Amino acid sequence: MRHTLPIASSALFLFALAGCSSGSSGPTHETDTDAGHSTVDSGKKTPASDAGNTATDGGGDTVTVNGQVVSLARSTKPRDKASSVSAADVTGAVTANNGFAVDLYSQLRGQSASDNLVSSPISASIALTMTYAGAQGTTATQMATAMHYGSAASTIFDGQNALSQALASRGPAALQADQNIAKQGDQPAPSASNYELQVVNSIWGQQTYTWNAPFLDIMAEDYGTGVYLQDFVHNFDPARVLINDWVSAETSNKINDLLPEGSLDTNTRMVLVNAVHLKLPWATPFDASLTANATFTTAAGTSVSAPAMNMTAGMSYVDDGKAQIVGLPFENGQVAVVIALPHGDLPTYEAGLTATSAGLAMPTGSTLVQLQVPKVSFTSPSFSLADALKTMGMPIAFDAVNADFSGLCTSPPDGDNLYIGDVIQKAMLAMQETGVEAAAATAVVVEGYGAAAPEDAAVPIPTPMIVNKPYVISIVDVPTGAVLFLGHIVDPTQAGSS
């Protein structure tokens, strides 16, 4: 179902907001997997206006989060099924998300030129879009531009909803494929815990506030979430710990302590969270007996020895003249790792990346490749996206005086004005012989101002691809082309922070 509202753009994304009028309401977190696409009605959703700001009462619901009973305020509207969203709207969301991904990456890579970098642009995009639902006026216009919404601005909520549900279907589909193979071969059934691609959302809001009903409806219908009520004014640090615990649980303890001490305070009024967790096995695993130490030349020009996986097989491969690019699919082929090994230096190659670059998509050609690639296990520290987002064209959202998030709450107490104080992300990537695990979390803190080949074929000569120097790595959803994770590895021996 769509609304017509006044128009004003781990991975885990989190927003903390300050200042709203008294009262309470909001929806709950849920995960949907209806990934079908069909035509939709002609109505369009736009950022929630401050008109009709009576919040929808959740009826005093409570839920248990990490052993704690939490009051839940929510819209009564159910989540829209992906089958109600057109394929064009999903394509619009993917195009916007990928444009944002490359733009954000161009800002981040310079800050991590000598260190490994792992980010989840889709997590950041989803969380920012949830916040966009409460933006008005110039704030909304700048966010839409920075987020690359373009003509998809009026359908971005629906498109992201269907995309999230499509992604949530990838893990079960891969599990089902391997279960069928195991059954046919009379082999033990695979473990469901190794087949996951989860995209989930939650919102945490000040318990004495009333949040605008149109905003709550969009959160319920398109993000499957509501508001877990907290007392940030008097107990902001216990709330911070609870949110961190939720993030840890949703990412299987791969993203811990997203919100450091001091990141929330008495001015915090709302925290919007998106989490992405992926754990999938390769369609063709690497033979662990072939893994051996190999020399890797780091971005600093020094040599390190790192365990490298080896495989010679027919692979999705292309050389576009700028880089060797190989796609390594997970089971069922719907999600894949794409590795781009530049012919020249990494900074020059990264500077030329666009949303349509060959290095960010699954190659369509197949070539016999002799691949050597180092194992990786890296967790980034929490890092700020605020400066990058300002540079990308949305500075007013960070302006204490001029930001307009009145679509979230019409009448903040004491005349406080909501604005984004900081945006924090943390991500991890582990790549080994059996498969890959990746997770990400992002936090936006908003403050209140004032407060194989046929057997009989000839054996071809394999194309060597020895990944022994810095390279770009991404994880993409093959059916939609969505970039889920994007980063570079400049030293495979770097473990990062826990």
Please state, in angstroms and rounded to a whole number, the distance separating the CA atoms of residues 139 and 50.
Answer: 14
Residue 251's domain comprises 11-281+379-449
Q: How confident is the model at residue 49 (pLDDT cuts 50, 70, 90)?
A: low
Cα distance between residue 39 and residue 21, in whole Å: 39
DSSP helix/strand/coil, 93? helix
Alpha helices in 211-361 (DSSP H): 213-223, 232-250, 346-351
pLDDT score of 417: 84
The beta strand positions in 123-225, using DSSP E, are: 196-206
Give pLDDT tens digits for 239-292: 999 999 999 999 999 999 998 888 888 888 888 888 999 999 999 999 999 999
pLDDT of residue 460: 76
How many domains is the chain built from? 2
Contact between 117 and 488 under an 8 Å Cβ cutoff? The reply is: yes
Q: Is residue 17 situated within a structural domain?
A: yes
Identity at 244, one-letter amino acid code: N
d(Cα 271, Cα 266) in Å, to the nearest integer?
13
> What amino acid occupies position 197?
L
Are 218 and 258 part of one and the same domain? yes
Please name the residues in contact with 241: beta carbons below 8 A apart, sequence gap of 6 or more: none
Query: What number of other Cβ atoms are within 10 A of residue 492's Cβ?
Result: 26
Looking at residue 99, what is its pLDDT? Answer: 97
Establish if 495 belongs to a structural domain: no
Q: Which of the residue ranges 159-163, 380-384, 425-429 has the most confident prediction, judged by mean pLDDT?
A: 159-163
Positive or negative, the CA dihedral 47, 52, 55, 56 is: negative
pLDDT at 412 over 80: no
- Whether 55 shows a pLDDT value over 80: the answer reads no
Contact between 448 and 19 (Cβ < 8 Å): yes
If you ran DSSP here, which 8-state letter would residue 209 be given?
B
The sign one gets for the Cα dihedral 135, 138, 142, 147 is: positive
CB 107 within 8 A of CB 388: yes
Q: Are residues 147 and 175 in the same domain?
A: yes
pLDDT tens digit string along 449-481?
A: 765 434 444 567 889 989 999 999 999 999 999
The predicted structure's pLDDT at residue 32: 43
465 lies in the same domain as 368: yes
List the one residue out of 30, 10, 487, 373 whose CA is nearest residue 219: 30
Place of tokens 């373009």: 150
> What percent of the chain shows pLDDT beyond 90?
62
Question: Do residues 66 and 195 both lie within one domain?
Answer: yes
Clarify whether residues 163 and 294 are in a common domain.
no
Question: Is residue 350 domain-shared with residue 253, that is, in the same domain?
Answer: no
CATH code where residue 345 lies: 2.30.39.10
By C-alpha distance, which of 161, 102, 91, 167 is closest to 133?
Answer: 161
Residue 458's pLDDT is: 59
Helix/strand/coil for 414:
helix
Q: Is residue 498, in this structure, part of any structural domain at all?
A: no
Count Cβ atoms within 10 A of the Cβ of residue 303 and give its class: 0-12 exposed, 13-18 middle, 19 or more buried: exposed
pLDDT at 260: 87
As beta bridge partners, residue 449 has: 417
Q: How many CB atoms lie within 10 A of CB 430?
A: 16
Is residue 4 domain-resident?
Answer: no
- Kindly state whether residues 178 and 318 are assigned to the same domain: no
What integer pLDDT is reported at residue 140 of this predicted model?
A: 96
In a domain, 245, yes or no: yes
pTM of the model: 0.87
Among the residue ranges 35-44, 146-155, 251-260, 431-440, the one predicted with the least confidence is: 35-44
**CATH number (domain holding residue 112):** 3.30.497.10
- Residue (of 290, 139, 131, 323) closest to 215 by Cα position: 131
Same domain, 167 and 306: no
* 222, part of any domain: yes
Q: Are residues 297 and 419 in the same domain?
A: no
189 plus 326 within the same structural domain = no
Q: What is the mean pLDDT of residues 64-84?
A: 90
Is 1 a member of any domain?
A: no
In a domain, 165, yes or no: yes
Q: Provide the Cα torsion 142, 30, 244, 171; round to 10°.
A: -100
Half-sphere exposure of 74 (CA within 13 A, CB side): 24
Same domain, 253 and 273: yes
- Are 292 and 436 members of one domain? no
How far is the C-alpha of 459 from the C-alpha of 454, rounded, in Å? Answer: 10
